[in-house]
Structure 1
Amino acid sequence: MNRGTLPIIARLHALQTAARIAPGGARVIAAISDANPLAALLCEVNETVLGRTLTFESSGGSSLSLEVSGRRVLRVTAANGLPGAENTLADAVLDDDHKDELIKLMQAVAVPRQELRVWALPMTREVDGVSVGLPVALLADLLLIDLNPLEGSTPADPVVRTIPADDPANPPTRRTKAAPPEPEPEPEAESPAPPVQPPADMPAGGSFLGTLARAIGPELMAWLVVGGEDDGATDGPEEMVSHLQGFLDDEGEALNQQLDQVATQPQGPVCIVLGASLIEGHSILCARMKDGILLGVIDGDATGTVLRGWASALRG
């Protein structure tokens, strides 16, 4: 495993750490002592492959609900205690014109020295089309937040681009903005597939996961299934597979408990990708269907490929 993989493996190990559950069942993703709760919010969205609604709530009382899929923010569905959300709430799908407004809402709910919690619920609608919404990688770049810090490092004083609050006497209107310095163009990548909602009649865990791994194809460089009919199925270089096997041997039970907290329903299907959208390097795929868990190493981002593979596996 090369050095570029180490921070992703560190993120994977963080999954087995027991999460603190707040009253009402929310997960605490940033404590009062955390220097950068906004990074925790972005990471939560960045790991989301299958469509779900994430509601972020601060201990100060404000909350923000986002529909997310394919590591993108599709739309804002609710905002409480956050002024200036009218434009984003009014539109069915977010686009580049909304990025500054969305960033301000995220900054307002993810405030330092306040606890940040998250609920995960199923999406209430299906979204047609590809490449919709705002990619989390773009938002992180604009905020100068590293979604993939080096293993063992935590940014004590993160550099965050703060967007000034609007003057209450002059409420914001949709306008043609002077263009900010253009971010570097995103690397060419596959267009994310439409959000896929698993049907009620889910296939058997292990059989589904083996089909998923094969449907993703060569971009899934190494993979291993634990549990279900395909328990022990594997492919890829022995060194990579051995690393995955060792992790699941030590942390499989704890990982399954953490996936319960990520899922939108008890023992429900989960598919997350760990690591930022990388130009070079690897991401980690973690998927669960019923009693089976798939862990794999992906070449680059491949979010669209994973979504298409999931849809193909559902069709059998």
Structure 2
Amino acid sequence: MNRATLPILSRLRSLQATSSFAPGGARVIAAADDRNPLAQLLRAVNETMLGRSLQFDSASGPSLTLDVSGRRVLRMTSAIGLPGAESCLGIETLEDEHKDDLIKLLQAIAAPRHELRVTSGPIGRGGEQVSVGLPVALLADLLLIDLNESEPGHLAPETDEPAPVEPEGAPSAPSSFQPASEDDSGLADFAAAFGPDLVAWLIVDGEDAGKSNGPEEMISHLRTFLEDEREAVDRQLDALSPTPGAPICVLLGATLIDGHSILCARLSAAPILGVVEGDGTSAALAAWRGLAL
């Protein structure tokens, strides 16, 4: 297998992960027996493209809230039960000089042998520019953590929100959109409207069944994945949809190695799976909105 495709398949396999929620609605991202809860925390941040506030709670008691955007940690807005947090609290934008202190706090909140949960909400305050803050890739490199690795048997972090948002609002990570109509045709038109950033795509079922475009190696991986995991994909999309089978478009965050995002959309029973160069949020939103015209 081409090593460059591994991060892509990691994102695809994330669709079959079943999210577990604690009382109160927080999503469990690391169980008590998870060997590396800190990796799960960083992966949750890495999947957050648009501005969100992520509150991490450890079953041992401490809590930490971060404003994140564009796979960067912008600032720390709250810390409970974490000694030394004052060095990062009250900082408008975290910079390189804060990274060591932040890493110590992340290690403390993601202590082994304790369940780790995350709650996502609107970003705490302004200043969502993705050119500032501390890149999660830098933090992962310093901690020797592979953001693309997914350990079998442990909870995956990609599905951050239990329900998608409407196109008019700011989508959470993964970005997800719903059209105003439920016409089960038009996925090929959607792919065409997406433009060249959609470097590979495959449609199964519906009027456009069998249509695809892009490098054959990528198409082959998409086809194999859908053949093996179609039911899991449908279950995950249903978990993100207001009703089972409803139209939905989900965009999973870009990988660090090759800058690809993963597109998974459905109109009625017809799904499309694709590989997007870079973020692609704006192109996805524009193309998805066009289906309702």
Q: Same fold (TM over 0.5)?
A: yes
Q: CA deviation at 1:111?
A: 0.4
Partner of 1:49 in structure 2?
A: 49
Label 1:72 to 1:257 Cα distance change in 2 as closer, same or farther (>3 A): farther
Once the two structures are superposed, what CA deviation does each residue of 1:239-281 show, in whole Å capped at 9, x if it has no partner?
A: 42243244335434533544676x6x9578643226x411xx4
Supply the AA of the counterpart residue of 2:262: L
Question: Deviation per CA, 1:286-309, whole angstroms, max 9, x where unpaired?
Answer: 35588686532245xx23xx2442
Classify 1:127/1:313 alpha carbon distance in 2 versus 1 (closer, same or farther; 3 Å). farther
User: Which secondary structure does the structure 1 equivalent of 2:196 belong to?
Assistant: helix
Which residue in 1 is equivalent to 2:215? Answer: 237
Where does the alignment leave 5 or more consecutive residues of structure 2 unmatched?
155-165, 170-176
Aligned match for 1:271, one of 209, 231, 251: 251
> How far did residue 315 of structure 1 move?
7.5
More deviation in 240-249 or 139-148? Answer: 240-249
Alignment of 1:34-183 (within 5 A): 34-125=34-125, 127=127, 129-149=129-149
**Secondary structure of the equivalent of 1:94?**
coil
Take 1:229 and 1:74, find their aligned partners in 2: how far apart are those partners? 44
SS in 2 for 1:241: helix
With 197-206 and 77-86 compared, the bigger mean Cα shift is at 197-206
Equivalent position of 2:263 in the other structure: 286
Structure 2 match to 1:21? 21
- Contact 2:47/2:252 (<8 A) preserved: yes
Q: CA deviation at 1:60?
A: 0.3
Q: Secondary structure at the match of 1:35?
A: coil
Contact 1:284 1:295 in 2 (8 A): no
Question: Kindly tell me: are residues 117 and 79 of structure 1, through their superposed partners in 2, closer, same or farther at Cα, counting changes over 3 Å?
Answer: same
2:29 is paired with a residue whose SS is: strand
Kept after mapping to 2: 8 A contact 1:64/1:80: yes
d(CA) in 1 for partners of 2:69, 2:273: 20
Structure 2 CA distance for aligned equivalents of residues 215 and 122 of structure 1:
30
CA contact (8 A) 2:8 2:262 kept: no
CA distance in 2, matches of 1:111, 1:20: 19
Q: Is the contact made by 2:249 and 2:263 (CA closer than 8 Å) also made in structure 1?
A: no
Instruction: Select between 306-315 and 67-76 the one with higher mean Cα deviation.
Output: 306-315
Return closer, same or farther for 1:152/1:81 CA change in 2, 3 Å cut-off.
Answer: closer
Partner of 1:162: none
Q: Aligned partners of 2:105, 2:61: CA distance in 1, in Å? A: 14
Contact kept in structure 2, 1:208 and 1:313, CA below 8 Å: no
TM-superposed CA distance for 1:114, in Å, is 0.9
Deviations 1:136-180 (A, max 9, x none): 1111111121223488799xxxxxxxxxxxxxxxxxxxxxxxxxx
> Residue 309 of structure 1 is aligned with which of 273, 283, 289?
283
Match of 2:6 in 1: 6
Match of 1:199 in 2: 168
In 2: Cα distance, 1:231 partner to 1:51 partner: 35
Which moved further from structure 2: 281-290 or 40-49? 281-290
Matched-pair contact (CA < 8 Å) for 1:33–1:113: yes
Q: Does the 8 Å CA contact 1:50/1:307 hold for their aligned counterparts?
A: no
The percent identity for this pair of structures is 54
Residues 85 and 310 (structure 1), Cα distance of their counterparts in 2 relative to 1, 3 Å cut? farther
Root mean square deviation, CA, Å: 4.0
- Give me the whole-angstrom Cα distance separating, in 2, the residues matched to 1:256 and 1:50: 25
Match of 1:182 in 2: none
- When the two structures are superposed, what TM-score results if normalisation uses the length of structure 2? 0.71
Distance 1:30 1:251, change over 3 A: same
Q: Secondary structure at the match of 2:89?
A: helix
Aligned-pair CA distance for 1:228: 9.6
Q: Secondary structure at the match of 2:43?
A: helix
Counterpart-to-counterpart distance in 1, 2:249 and 2:84? 35
| 1:101-153 per-position Cα deviation (integer Å, ceiling 9, x unaligned) | 22122111100111111222233555454412221111111112122348879
Aligned counterparts of 1:2 and 1:93: Cα–Cα separation in 2: 38
Residue type of the alignment partner of 1:277? L
